[in-house]
Amino acid sequence: MSGKKRQSSQRAQQGVGAGLVEGFLKAGYNVVATSLQVSHSLTASASLVLVDGDIGKQQTAAKAVEAAIQHFGTIDVLVTTLESFASKPFTDFTTEDFEALASTTCSDSLHHAAHR
């Protein structure tokens, strides 16, 4: 393990997440990037490990933590740029709709902490 700091970023495939991955890499960090299909938009390297998956799912968070530990030894920074969007009136939401939004938006940091 080098003296570089380690960072884990979710929703790294596009937008703010992709910009954060790029910025952390330029600043000399090792990065584990997670998104549904992150391997389709980024290229892995010695400093960048990619984990495809739904970060709202505990098994994806576990894979990301395991990748960070295996490749870099630890996680120094956890960045979450997740958001979910549903295009229907709130009064039409079901319990399942709400749980899906909450899972994606809130659970990922908890899942990461549980596997650290």
Tell me what percent of the residues of the chain surpass a pLDDT of 70: 71
Has residue 1 got a pLDDT over 70? Answer: no
d(CA 104, CA 100): 6
> At residue 113, does pLDDT exceed 80?
no
Order of strands, sheet of 77-80, starting from the edge strand that comes earlier in the sequence: 48-52, 30-35, 6-10, 77-80
User: Rounded mean pLDDT of 96-100?
Assistant: 80
Q: What are phi and psi of 95, to 5 degrees?
A: -60, -40
pLDDT for 26 equals 94
Q: pLDDT tens for residues 75-95? A: 888 877 665 666 788 788 888
Does residue 32 register a pLDDT over 60? yes
The predicted structure's pLDDT at residue 51: 93
pLDDT score, position 88? 81
In the predicted model, is pLDDT for residue 116 greater than 50? yes
Helix H or strand E encompassing 62: helix 58-72
Backbone angles phi, psi at 37, to 5 degrees: -135, 50
